[in-house]
Amino acid sequence: MDATLNPEARIAAADAFAETAHTGQFRKYLVGVPYIVHPRAVAAIVASVPHEVEQVQAALLHDTIEDCGVTHEQIERKFGAEVARLVWALTDQAPRTLNRKARKAWERDRLAQEDAKVQTVKIADLSDNVPSIVAGDRDFGRIFAEEARTLLDALLLADATLRLRLAGLLDAANLEVAGFSRT
């Protein structure tokens, strides 16, 4: 992508690419909600704190390699090396031969070594996922919230405001899975 384009045009290009890539996909725990709503929410969360344009682009594209068959090379050609690096770092890389608990530990340890840009987008991703997963499946929500808490504890370089926001969401999730509501 032409780095001379203004930030809004670069973000719009990533949004359009992600929308096309996720065509026909829907949120698992939000019936009938197009999947693109999630990357857009993650991008908005990232944009709410100090950030670089590439982080917002990566937030929009963060699931395209893992879920859409898009390649790292395609991302790099269209959006540049930095966006491709961020998207790749946000893509689950744990060996599929491991069980879920081992995969999540592997990913936690890997993400803990990533830079603040990656960690901030990952915290934003979790912040959007926690409420819908907990509301959609209380049993799995309990597991997911525990995994997210462990990841939050490891991602020390992420934006502090987003870390606090996620901690609050996880506290609310723990109340919800325990049968309490904050209403």
Residue 92 in contact with residue 107, Cβ under 8 Å?
Answer: yes
pTM: 0.95
* pLDDT classification of 176: cutoffs 50, 70, 90: confident
Q: What are phi and psi of 59, to 5 degrees?
A: -60, -40
pLDDT tens, residue by residue, 33-87: 999 999 999 999 999 999 999 999 999 999 999 999 999 999 999 999 999 999 9
Sequence-distant (≥ 6) Cβ neighbours of residue 79 within 8 angstroms = 1, 10, 13, 14, 17, 54, 57, 61
Q: Tell me which H or E stretch contains 171.
A: helix 160-177
Residue 130 in contact with residue 144, Cβ under 8 Å?
Answer: yes
Q: What is the mean pLDDT of residues 23-31?
A: 92
Topology, domain 7-177? Hypothetical protein af1432 (1.10.3210)
Q: Is the pLDDT of residue 98 over 60?
A: yes
* pLDDT classification of 179: cutoffs 50, 70, 90: confident
- Work out the end-to-end distance of the chain between its first and last CA atoms, rounded to an integer number of angstroms: 46
* pLDDT classification of 29: cutoffs 50, 70, 90: confident
* pLDDT classification of 180: cutoffs 50, 70, 90: confident
Q: Which residues are catalytic?
A: 66-67
CA distance readout (Å), 61 to 18, 40, 102, 107: 6, 9, 26, 19
Q: What is the mean pLDDT of residues 142-165?
A: 97
* pLDDT classification of 177: cutoffs 50, 70, 90: confident
Domain boundaries, the chain: 7-177
Q: What is the mean pLDDT of residues 139-151?
A: 95
| Other beta carbons less than 10 A from residue 117's beta carbon | 22
